[in-house]
Structure 1
């Protein structure tokens, strides 16, 4: 199906979101029925407004011209200090530790405004212990980080500047004005004729007609420029076509000498040093202190590591499924549906490797896309993984028949006591305005509610985003975008009978480097959380 859209002018600074509304309203010269709009209810519209307000980043200063790196936040000049504790400055398990962070620029001048992206953790490498900190921006160049003290012995503070406020000025503008900065394409073919065109959630208006592939069930938008010689019905696949040339030029510009994103990473994902001691000694819990003071209610955190094992601060106790026998026994008689990106696929791969008696049904499918399925006939175990639908920035051709939206897949699940639905969607959607992400999650939430209404005993598990660290495509995929996505996921699914795997805290609290695909020790802990929800024992 396609629509030759009659918009005579389009400014990307208006945002793709406005464009989609125009597409839905105009629908000019459509050769086939187009998907109906999926308008928000008044409650959803108000919720969206509140979510956007809750994740609103502090205003960052406009970049002066000419621009100089000297005027930006410098982790080497910046410092943190551990604030004094209680009586005699003693620290006990169950207390809180507070750190004050002061930001300075490259000339050693104190910053006067906030907006830097900073993360913090408390850890003890010998004990394989770690917990995330809560960072508060005081909007004047200073920040606080607060940690619960959860183990005895040494606890060392680690503070990281993820992005300077000046860099965020650029990233914010990019998401608003250039949501099409990743190039996504489709191949069209009929007989000996083939042609590749650009596709996206929205496309810049040209004289070239557009094919409208908006999903008929969810209303999720997707468009491709129409091939010159072929119809829209001849679309064969989807692939990532790289970065927009303007984005490459921008990266080169900002990476030179006095730029915001220097290749040496002097101001991105860099530790901030302490101006005094960076560690404290934690004494045993006070006798008069109640045990429940260590729970998540006080700290707002979901858990922490101790001896390499994730310990929740509330909710379901996490058991250790340390061998194939324990894992297969838990999965016996269950059907597990996994949907999402490669960070969810990691869980499928872990289970696949842990079930030697299970048969891989489609082992020859492309590793990056699947779909995949494993089946253990003796124990009646079925585990499936399917990649989520567009947007997808993957470097392999995905047939259009495999481009499926999570909401539609969930609607096709019968559900029940022995059914588990697991999903996570975030990594491919970071280059786009947050409204798109919220509305994609709204569609999934509606499907989850329908599933739980028809089969209340179905277990639904949601993976949150996580820190992804440095990468070559920082202008499109970075931790500042992921920080906001993490908050949105929690807000959208709050109050539903679903379980979250807090990937954000589990990556931040661990001693291993941040990476979009967490390493095996973290994946093992994540899967143990899922299995503990399936088999609380």
Structure 2
């Protein structure tokens, strides 16, 4: 079924895609391991090109808040921005009228005499610094329920709290109590709704205001590059965009050249401005940013035993339609940590294969940014695989290949194309579309895709363009090799970062877009790493122990 708003694939687009598929055959043969069957590409007997859509060209940003397509996936923000656009909500707003965490309180709606397995719920009423109730939503809260030991110390067990926005300044929160003993509820205001608006405004651009790209060309000259540059006096534009790959990419024409080169030979990353957030009063830690609200930190006792939690869940088989769809849905909680192990509430992951048994006689392709590269190194170390990737340590996004000859295991890592804030030549920034079309799925194969973190500084239009192209490539790979299993790795929460805006709300936005675009694909499942990082670390990269739990969840789905 076509996605509303897109035209059917044109004949020229189909021919281009078919040509790419045949040209990539040679690449395909170079990617397989020594024990893998080298199977030439053969077209499927029935082509289903009607499901492939044209990739829209990214247009210059004209609206005050940037592009609008992403807003349908975050209705609470769309409601707020629409009210501002209609002058129903004042903007800009005095800081005293923004959400004050010290005036915003948790209200408990259920008895505190709790048993294991019961739901814990209540409301939140947002208030400003004058103590007045807010009349619109959009606040970004983070909630979690933590398990304590007998001395009140926090354990590594916890469960996320789901918070629903009613668009009028009130919110409902709810979670489940999965274990007995002492527990503590934490709810913090990460960003006020006004700060979210500010983030939206600052990222309504196709040029990163904080970090940039310098492309070096064959003549030795360098010039600035980004998603969409505007010509200036003395600077004309070289357009390296490619709709099939889902990229809009411009560079200023390098000095000394009469015509545009074919591509840059390498990229370096530059810093323009260290201020990665909007006006500072909205992002003052402990005052307006990442601050616990009233009644947060309350502890209480839970009676019962862990055996009282619901049992009889279905197997973690994501080929089953209902489970696969539930992996994308925003219903929470999906699981919880108990004794430092992730316990799924979607399916029974208590009897999962070991990592080695799962991957024996299989290939695994890990495609995306550094958060999926963490998976590669974790698996490579756990299974003691031979790392046969490119040895250049100066460029950490180089393609990697791990081989376990004894168990016939092949693991590949490849990054994604620009924008990618890693230095190096084109080999470190291959496009996901090209990587997907080069995969040989003639043996049991899984593909885990991850993208989003390097798009946080641009308007979501650039990200959506890339996602549509990737979705097309997933369709085509599935057509060639229907047994290949696909997984989307979600975003992870974080509290700070050196290289991106200090806000995981922007990462949440890309996560919502990914969920929406891949939800309707019956052979793609979602790994909800967002909820598994309910107790976020400081940076974009989850600690090794958490990455291992992400991988274990993937194993429960794949095997």
Same fold (TM over 0.5): yes
The 5-angstrom pairing of residues 271-420 of structure 1 reads 271-274=292-295, 277-283=298-304, 300-315=332-347, 317=349, 319=351, 326-366=354-394, 368-394=396-422, 397-420=423-446
SS class of match (2:262): helix
Aligned to 1:484: 509
When residues 219 and 505 of structure 1 are mapped into structure 2, their CA distance, relative to the original with a 3 A threshold, is closer
Are 1:90 and 1:283, in contact at CA under 8 Å, matched by a contact in 2?
Answer: no
Aligned to 2:481: 455
Q: Which segments of 5 or more consecutive residues in structure 1 lack a partner in the other structure?
A: 1-36, 42-47
Aligned to 1:232: 261
Deviations 1:416-465 (A, max 9, x none): 44212111001011122223222211211111122222212112121011
Are 1:122 and 1:158, in contact at CA under 8 Å, matched by a contact in 2?
Answer: yes
Match of residue 105, structure 1, among 112, 128, 132: 128
The alpha carbon displacement at 1:91 in A equals 2.7
When residues 68 and 124 of structure 1 are mapped into structure 2, their CA distance, relative to the original with a 3 A threshold, is same
Matched residues in 1 for 2:555 and 2:311: separation? 30
Aligned to 1:209: 236
Matched residues in 2 for 1:206 and 1:315: separation? 56
When residues 178 and 299 of structure 1 are mapped into structure 2, their CA distance, relative to the original with a 3 A threshold, is closer
The alpha carbon displacement at 1:98 in A equals 0.8
Deviations 1:23-70 (A, max 9, x none): xxxxxxxxxxxxxx94469xxxxxx988632313141666767x6533
SS class of match (1:428): helix
Match of residue 76, structure 1, among 78, 102, 115: 102
Aligned to 2:282: 260
Deviations 1:228-268 (A, max 9, x none): 2134236211232123x4x74x86x833xxx2223x44221
Are 1:120 and 1:160, in contact at CA under 8 Å, matched by a contact in 2?
Answer: yes
Are 1:92 and 1:285, in contact at CA under 8 Å, matched by a contact in 2?
Answer: no
Are 2:384 and 2:404, in contact at CA under 8 Å, matched by a contact in 1?
Answer: no
Aligned to 1:8: none
Deviations 1:61-82 (A, max 9, x none): 66767x6533322223322122
Aligned to 1:23: none
Aligned to 2:38: none
When residues 478 and 95 of structure 1 are mapped into structure 2, their CA distance, relative to the original with a 3 A threshold, is same
Instruction: Give the TM-score taking structure 2 as reference length.
Output: 0.75
The alpha carbon displacement at 1:188 in A equals 2.8
The 5-angstrom pairing of residues 86-97 of structure 1 reads 90-97=113-120
Match of residue 463, structure 2, among 437, 448, 465: 437
Matched residues in 2 for 1:272 and 1:373: separation? 47
Aligned to 1:9: none
The 5-angstrom pairing of residues 78-157 of structure 1 reads 78-85=104-111, 90-126=113-149, 128-157=156-185
Are 2:237 and 2:251, in contact at CA under 8 Å, matched by a contact in 1?
Answer: yes
Q: Which segments of 5 or more consecutive residues in structure 2 lack a partner in the other structure?
A: 1-52, 58-66, 150-154, 315-322
Deviations 1:465-501 (A, max 9, x none): 1212123566x45222122222211111113212321
Matched residues in 1 for 2:311 and 2:367: separation? 41
When residues 473 and 336 of structure 1 are mapped into structure 2, their CA distance, relative to the original with a 3 A threshold, is closer
The alpha carbon displacement at 1:393 in A equals 2.0
Matched residues in 1 for 2:455 and 2:202: separation? 14
The alpha carbon displacement at 1:360 in A equals 3.7
2:493 is equivalent to residue 467 of structure 1:
yes
The alpha carbon displacement at 1:124 in A equals 0.8
Match of residue 197, structure 2, among 143, 164, 169: 169
Matched residues in 1 for 2:307 and 2:450: separation? 40
Are 1:155 and 1:282, in contact at CA under 8 Å, matched by a contact in 2?
Answer: no
Are 1:341 and 1:387, in contact at CA under 8 Å, matched by a contact in 2?
Answer: yes
Deviates more, 1:172-181 or 1:446-455: 172-181
Match of residue 218, structure 1, among 241, 245, 254: 245
Are 1:335 and 1:382, in contact at CA under 8 Å, matched by a contact in 2?
Answer: yes
When residues 238 and 145 of structure 1 are mapped into structure 2, their CA distance, relative to the original with a 3 A threshold, is same
Aligned to 1:184: 212
Matched residues in 1 for 2:194 and 2:374: separation? 34
Matched residues in 2 for 1:125 and 1:356: separation? 36
Matched residues in 2 for 1:318 and 1:406: separation? 33
The alpha carbon displacement at 1:339 in A equals 0.8
SS class of match (1:274): coil
The alpha carbon displacement at 1:314 in A equals 1.9
Aligned to 2:28: none
Deviates more, 1:158-167 or 1:172-181: 172-181
When residues 92 and 371 of structure 1 are mapped into structure 2, their CA distance, relative to the original with a 3 A threshold, is same
Matched residues in 2 for 1:38 and 1:315: separation? 36
The alpha carbon displacement at 1:375 in A equals 1.7
When residues 276 and 528 of structure 1 are mapped into structure 2, their CA distance, relative to the original with a 3 A threshold, is closer
SS class of match (2:188): strand
